[in-house]
Structure 1
Amino acid sequence: MMNNFEDMQKLGKENMDIAMESLGSVSKSMQAIAAEVADYQKKSFEEGSAAVEKVAASKSLDKAFEAQSEYFKTAYEGFVGEMTKLGEMYTDMSKDVYKPFEGVMGKMSK
C-alpha cells in the first residue's frame, strides 16, 4: 500500500493539514464562545445592578418583592436562553471540528 517514502510523507502532510484545520475550528469556536459568555456576564451584571436599584428605590415592601420577583423571572429566562445558545455553539463547534476528518473516514472505509 505504502511502498515508498513519498507516500508516507504525503499521508503525514495530509494528516497534519487535517489536524491543523480541526484545531483552527476549535480556536475560532472557543473565541466566539468566550465572547458570548463575556457579553452575557456584562449584560447580567447590568441587569442585576438595575434590579438592586429598583428594589432599593421601592416605596413599599410589596413593590420591592414585585421588583425582585420580576428580576428573578427575567434572570432565569435569560440564563436558560443563554445556556441553550451556548449548547448550540458547542454542538456547532463539534460538527466543525469533525468535518476535516470526514474525508479520511471515507477513505478508510473503502
Structure 2
Amino acid sequence: MYTQLTNKGTDMLNNIEDMQKLGKDNMDMAMESFGSVTKGMQAIAAEVADYQKKSFEDGSAAVEKLVASKTLDKAFEAQADYMKTSYEGFVSQMTKIGEMVTDLSKDVYKPYEGLMGKMSK
C-alpha cells in the first residue's frame, strides 16, 4: 500500500512538473511571438512615416510646379504628372506594406510551428 501511494505521489509530482514546463514553454512562445509583433509593427510604422513625408514633399513640389505654370496646358500637364506618380507611388507602397505584413504574420507564427507539428502526430 505504501509503494502504491508513493508511486501515485511521484506520478502527481511529475504531472505538476510537466504542467509547469508546458506553462513556461507556452509563455516563452508567446513572448517570442509578441517580440515579433512589436518589431514588425515598428518597421511598418517607420515605413508609413517615410512614405507620408515623401508624399507631402512630392505634393508640395507639385503645387509649386502648378503655381509656376504659365499656361493652362502646362498646369494640366503638371497635375496629370503628379497624379500619375502619386498613384504609382501609392500602389508600390501598399504592395511593400502588404509584403511586410505577410512577413510579420510568418514571424509571429514561427514559435508555434513546432507545437503544431507535435499536435498533428
Q: TM-score range by the shorter chain?
A: over 0.9
Residue 37 (structure 2) aligned to one of 1, 22, 26: 26
1:40-88 superposed Cα distances (whole Å, 9 cap, x missing partner): 0000000000000000000000000000000000000000000000000
Letter in 1 for 2:85: T
Query: Aligned pairs, how many?
Result: 109
2:61 paired with 1:47: no
TM-score by length of 1: 0.97
Distance 1:4 1:86 in 2: 46
**Which consecutive aligned stretches of 4+ in structure 1 deviate over 4 angstroms post-superposition?**
none
Deviation at 1:4, TM superposition (A): 1.8
Across the aligned residues of Structure 1 and Structure 2, the Cα RMSD in angstroms comes to 1.0
Q: Name the residue aligned to 1:13.
A: 24
Distance 1:4 1:96 in 2: 32
Q: Name the residue aligned to 1:58.
A: 69
Distance 1:53 1:80 in 2: 24
Distance 1:79 1:8 in 2: 50
In structure 1, runs of 5+ residues without a counterpart are none
Residue 67 (structure 1) aligned to one of 67, 71, 78: 78
Distance 2:120 2:52 in 1: 46
Q: Name the residue aligned to 2:114.
A: 103
Distance 1:15 1:108 in 2: 14
In percent, how many aligned pairs have the same letter? 81
Letter in 2 for 1:9: Q
